[in-house]
Every structure is written in C-alpha cells, then in structure tokens.
Chain A
Amino acid sequence: MSSSQIPALNALPGPHSVARTVLDNGLVLLVRENRAAPVVTLQGSLSAGAQDEPANRAGLAAFTAAMLSRGSLHHDYSAFNEAVESVGGNLTFGADTHSTDFSLACLSEDFAGLVAVLADALRQPHFADEHVERVRQQRLVYIQERDQDTSSVASLHFHEMLYGRHHPYGRSTSGYLDTIGALTHNEVVEFHRGFYTPTSAAIVIAGDISAGAAKDLVERYFGDWRGPAPAPAAAAPRFLAVGKRDVVKMPGKVQSDLVIGAPGIARDHPDFYALRVANAILGQFGMMGRLGERVREEQGLAYYAYSGITAERAGGVWMAAAGVNPAHVEQAAASILAEFTALGSELVSPEELADSQAFLTGILPLTLETNDGVANALLGMEWYHLGLDYLQRYYDLIYSVTAEDVLRVAATYLSPERCCTVIAGPSSDGASDNSDN
C-alpha cells in the first residue's frame, strides 16, 4: 500500500500543522495547536543523561533530575509544590541514558506561570544539602524495592550481562545502593553545570495555545539561557556475552520472571523498521503476537509473554519476557527460543505480515489522540532527526518491509546462539545459583 491510498494523512501532525523554531541558543521548539480542550502539554529533553555519569556514580543523572523539583532561585521547595499542586498541574523531571526529560501538563490558564517554574527549575536549581539527603533516602528505598522485583531484576541482569556496567546500556539509570549512597552534593552541582544546556535541547508544546504565544513564552524563559557544548554521544556498546545464561535466586518469591534476547540496533540503523515489524509479529500483534499465542494461549504457561525492542542513539536490545511458575521455566524458555528460530528460518505469510503492518500504521490515530500523545511523538521525531513529515512517511516505511526482511533480521539478531537468558525467581528452579549477585 502506498501513502496515496491512506486517507487523512493531513490529519496527522506534520509540516502543515507543526511550527518549528530554533532559538539562538540552539534549543528547538515544536508547537502543535489543538483547541479541543482547555489544556496544554509541554514535553522536552536535554542532552544530559546516564551516559555522562561515571559507572561508579550510576544514577547521578536521574538523581540530579529528581533534585530539580526541590527548589530553585525564584521558587523554593514549598513554592514549587504550591505553584504546581494548587492548580492541579503536573510537572515532573527524569533522566534516561541519553537525556534529561521534563513534562508539564496543566489547564491553559495556568500554563504561562508553570513554564516560568519549569525554566527556573532547569536553569537555576538550588540543590540544597538537606534535599540531597532526603532524595538519597527515598531513592535508596526505591532501589531496595526494585531489587526485590523479579521482572526488574531479570531485566537489569540481562542488560548487565550484555554490556557490562561500564557502558551506560549495561547499568541501571536509577543506580544502585552503593552508587547512590556514595554520590556527593558537589557531584550533583557539577553534573548540572557540566551537562545541562539548551544546545541540542528540544521542547514540544501541544494544546490550547497558539504557536506565536508558545514561542513568545519559550523565548522569554529560555531565550537567554547559555550552556556548555553537549557531550558527545556514548560510543556504540560492545557486547560481552552471547549464548549466556544466568539464574538469580530470590528468597520469598513465588513466580519467576524470564528475559531472553540479544543486542539489537540503534534508532538510525537501516534495519529499524524491519525490526519493528518483525517484533510486532513476534510479540505484540493481537494478544502479544506469536509468543502470546504459543506461551500463554496454547500452553497456559504464563500470564504475560511478549517481546520488545529498544533502539537508542548508540544501540539497543531485542528481548522477550515472560512471568512463569518456576516449574515451567524451562518449557517457556524453550518455546520462546523456538519462536525466535522459526521467525528467522521460515518466511512469514503475506497475511501475517500485512496484519502487523496494518496494526503498526492503523494505531497512529489512537496514539495521537491526546496532547500528551502528540507531544511524545513530536519529541521523538525531533530527538532522532526524523523530520516533520515523518508521520506522513511512516506508512511507506512500514509497508516497505518485506517477508524476506523479517526473516533476515530475525535470523541476524535473534539467532539462538546469540541470545542470553536471565531467570529471576524463587530458588526451586533446579538451575545453578548465580554467585556474582
């Protein structure tokens, strides 16, 4: 199917309905006006992330982001809380491997006031000692809870097995008990000073506001911001393990979580769309694709079984996950690997391919229903340099993937000898213990 056969391409956000501005300091602003409800959403990202922290300070970027809502030059801690909560707004900060992200949603009447709060928090945070200690205490307990969650533990061990903690893709962006315990007030201050910058930052505004008014606001609060040149993106990771298997025993647990997968690709890799279609067939379409059908529906082994891809600036993973009774772990793992093999050795039927292509393109109106959905899509387009006409081109990108492409990427990336397996759960699996945990 070509794009000429798709109705309503102009209904999707694109060059005709999104205003793009680059400020003098390099910050990119995208605005999409939508008057349907009296609300506005703002989402943005800076190029400062876990890739910029040393491995022995894992979690520093996320910690710094968590500190932004704890007081800044013009809004101390209680003023920040009052400004946001008295109007029922949401204003949050977080950090990922390559980015520090922020998100604001509120009634349109409150938007200008909260953009001022956001800018102050990003540009002139206080980092009060007292709050560093409070945030540390909260995050240490959060990490302690995460380390009791079987699916989080399986996923963390999987990434660590693939890349090692020295690479940002191999470690937790939230950090660990020892790295969060060790970081200092000064390291937070220095992280902000060294990496927060408008250059290559992006802000998207969607909702009940004109492009002109949005631009004026962003100019007013961010226009005179100057910062350091962004750090270069992390080097592509070298993967450490192929065909490895690990079992993490967790006392007191009832069910095991299982992760099986392999290194994938970066977002700008030419195979990206083939992976996206292949993954939909494998572990997304309908009731979680072929994996859901074989593992859950046909054998009743798991409440959930699916697959997913992450594709970041420097690399990614392709993995399947399932939650299963310890007695069924081996059967579930074998079934998942058998589906990997099948996808890489037998061509998918034209019907199965067309189904997943129809799903991946047909779902666009749903994902773009709300201002949040639109802002999220536009931010991704800017972040990965996909162009304002990306949604108009998306149909062709998905429909250009062939059955041969699906077979090739599955055979290349998910060959069983390449795959790593991590099982986290009760100690009755019968498998050997993991001594390095």
Chain B
Amino acid sequence: MTSKRSTATVATLDNGLEIILKPGHAAPVASFWIFYRVGSRNETPGLTGLSHWVEHMLFKGTARYPHGDFDRAVSRAGGMFNGMTWQDWTVYFETLPADRIALAIDVESDRMANAIFDPEETELERTVILSEREGSENNYFYRLQEDVQATAYTAHPYRHPVIGWKVDLHEITREDLYNHYRTYYTPSNAIAVATGDFDAAAMLDAITKQFGGLVSGPKPPVVRAREPEQQVERRVQLRGEDPTATYLQVFHTPAAKHPDFFPLVVLDSVLGGAKGMGLFGGSANNRSNRLYRTLVESQLAVDASSSYGPSVDPTLFSFSVTLAPATAHEAVEEAIWEMIGEVQRNGVTAAELARAIQQTKAQFAYSSESVTNQAYWLGFSEVVADLDWLDNWMARLAAVTSADVQRVAHHYLQPDRQTVGWYIPL
C-alpha cells in the first residue's frame, strides 16, 4: 500500500520498514539509503560511541558478503558508498549507475540482519576508531567543541560526542556492540530511501522482496532523558599550543518539530548567512550577513559562522569564531551580544527575510541535481520530523515574520541559557 506525497511515494511493509521513493530521470544514476533511528542519542554513560562503532562493524562482513566483498562489489559496479553516524541516526548508502542499484538493496537487506561482528575484527576496529578520534583531537577547536557540548547539556545524551569518550572506547566489548546492533537494526526502526533513475513500482517490488522477510523485532527502548532548563551561564576555557584563538558560544533551542524551528532557521540565516543543503556543503559566499559584518568586517575575527540544525530532541544554536591575532575573547563576546540585542530590539529587515527565502530556493534547486543529496534530505527529514515537514519547508520559511524572529531571538538567546567556550593559546 503506497501513498503519494508531493515529493515522494511512501509505503510501509508489514514488518514496519518505511519506504520513501523519489524517481527522477535527469541522469542514469540512483541512490539507495537505509536510515536507522539510532545514534549517540540512544547511548548511555559507559557505552558512548556504540552506534558509531556498530556502523564500522557493518562494513566487516556477513556470511553472504564476507569482509571486503561488499566494498569491492560496489566499486566494481562503478558506485560509491559510505556509512555515517550522527546524534539521531545511523545511515548507509550506495550511489550507483541506475542499472546496478539492485546490488545496494541486496547488501543493505543482508547486513540489516546478518552482520557477523567477528571478535578479532572487533578488536582491530577498536584501534581504527581510536585513530579516528585521535585525528580529531589534533585540532583544538574539536576539543573545545566537545567540552562545550558536554557542559551545555547536563542530562541529555547529546552531551557526549558521537564517536564516544576515549575511556569508553577502551572498554566496550563485542557483546555490547552486538546487543546494540540487535536492539536497533530492525525493519521497524529503519527507513529505506531510493532516489534516481528507476520506476517506482519496480523499485517498491525489489525492496519488498529483499526486506519483506526480515523479522520486525521488538520496539527499541525510548529515550526518556530530558535536558532540564538551563538557568545559569556556563563557561569553558581550554588552553593549548595552537597559536590561533577560537570561540564557541551555544544556546539551548528547540527540536525540528517545534513551531519555533523555522523562525530560528531564519535567525540563523540572517545572522550567519546561507547554509548549503548538500551533505557536507555550505555556501561559499557569506559576507553580507550580520555576524560577518560585526566580527570580520570590523577585523575582530577572520572567520565567523552560526549554526542551527534539525534534530529529534532540543539542540544547540551556535556561534563559532576564529579570532584575529590581537583580539581578546571578551571583545568578540561583547560584539556578539550587541548584534543579538539589535535583533531583539528591532527584529530583522524585509530585505533580510527576502534574502533568506531566495537563498533557500537556490539551495533546493542545487540539491535537486544530486540523487545522493535528495535521498539524504528525504531520509533525515523522516527521522527528525516527517516528509510533510520537508514538503512545507519553503512555505513555512516564507511565513516567518520579523516579529517571529525578534521573539525567538529574545526567548532563546539569553545569557542564562548560554555556554561559552574560549580556546586560548598558551
């Protein structure tokens, strides 16, 4: 049974697997994704980093695709593949020449249930993940960001890094990983997304045939943790050998489905500029926004950005700054508060609202060129909200008024709701 939404065809199998299909025939390629509703959000102290490590283990083989067979098969077919883990989701995808997309469906249905988790492979992957973490630790801004996050949240699992704390990565066992896999990797906790050059009915048949026989599985445990309202300002100071000073300031803000989400997206766009809709992209030209004018044009900083993204649970709105050599952190902080105060007093201009709309329109058009980007947006939208939320994105953005932006700036950007991190060169 399928239904047609404006952007996609959706269906749900008897075992609970959600399916989202969006055919498009602009290029002879197709992309297939499986999103699992599991990420660092579902982890508990002592077992942080489980979701990401499980993701690595799904590249270590099944009986049908022993270690190395899967990646060789996709490469041989002229495809690309990856796995990614975030707070709210874990995802696997393959993008292939369209006539070879069946390979992706076969691989993903197989490893949803049959990954081996060989004990020896598990140990080898421990050092690989430690190496991944240590590569990030080479960067002081990464370390600052990790500590700011752990300070901003006191109770909610968004407080710990997706890759996990090093102490936990040393202790996690094969059984911990396998249990996590069996708990969350079920059809009823997953979403399959296909985009590109195929016929929707044939694609639905192929997915149903491969995934339909998998056992639904028990419902995974609900995440009950709620972050208590922050009532005191929090501060983190990190010192180190890198001579470049940086700054990170975060505020608690609501989740994707909250009515204030779209006013906050506009606030982010007005303050920090256009955001790309690609997997890893941002817009390259971003100098007319308020943050850039406040910090970079004034030569207090050489780089400044803001960020606010969709999530299942309440998240953080952030300002990141790379300071100019002679600048004190206090001066950056003062300038940001002056900028915030201006929006709180006077809202934003009609031209800024129009620009946010136009930039988003362009980003949607760019993103429509790539089946990989389209599938990513469809899948994560369904995880953090639903497809209507994505379909109505432009309309809801266009409905945001200056008064809305002024209100959310006033409500969420308050000193008592902030956590401020300074990286200070020794």
Contacts and interface: CB of A to CB of B under 8 A. Distances in A.
Interface stretch (A161-169, A195-203, A239-247, A357-365): A357-365
Contacts of B318: none
Contacts of A301: 127-128, 131
B75 A285 contact: yes
B127 A293 contact: no
Interface stretch (B15-23, B32-40, B173-181, B357-365): B357-365
A365 B29 contact: yes
A237 B277 CA distance: 42
A297 interface: yes
Interface stretch (B2-10, B285-293, B306-314): B285-293
Contacts of B139: 149
B344 to A, nearest CB: 24
A328 B27 CA distance: 44
B385 to A, nearest CB: 23
Interface in A348-367: 355, 358-359, 361-366
Given A36-B26, A92-B285, A285-B75, A252 B241 contact: yes
Contacts of A141: 244, 302-303, 322, 324-325
Contacts of B303: 138, 141
A260 interface: no
Nearest to A140: B325
B241 A325 contact: no
B274 interface: yes
A417 B2 CA distance: 63
Contact of A359 (B29, B78, B241): B78
B361 A107 contact: yes
Interface string B338-373: 000000000000000011001111110110111100
Contact of A85 (B28, B79, B288): B288
Contacts of B361: 88, 107
Contacts of B287: 81, 85
Nearest to A7: B99
B240 interface: yes
Contacts of A297: 67-68, 124
28 contacts: A34-B26, A37-B365, A37-B366, A39-B365, A85-B283, A88-B359, A107-B362, A137-B299, A138-B302, A141-B303, A144-B243, A148-B242, A149-B138, A252-B241, A285-B72, A286-B71, A287-B71, A297-B67, A300-B124, A301-B127, A325-B130, A358-B75, A358-B77, A362-B78, A362-B79, A364-B78, A365-B29, A368-B27
Given A145-B242, A366-B78, 18 more contacts: A37-B365, A81-B285, A86-B355, A88-B274, A144-B244, A145-B244, A148-B242, A252-B241, A286-B75, A297-B67, A300-B127, A300-B128, A301-B131, A303-B135, A355-B72, A358-B76, A362-B97, A363-B80
Interface of B: 26-29, 59, 67-68, 71-72, 74-80, 95-98, 123-132, 134-135, 137-140, 240-244, 273-274, 283-288, 296, 299, 302-303, 322, 324-325, 354-355, 358-363, 365-366, 368-371
Interface of A: 8, 11, 34, 36-39, 69, 78, 81-82, 84-92, 105-107, 134, 137-138, 140-142, 144-145, 148-150, 250-255, 285-287, 293, 296-304, 323-325, 328, 355, 358-359, 361-366, 368-372
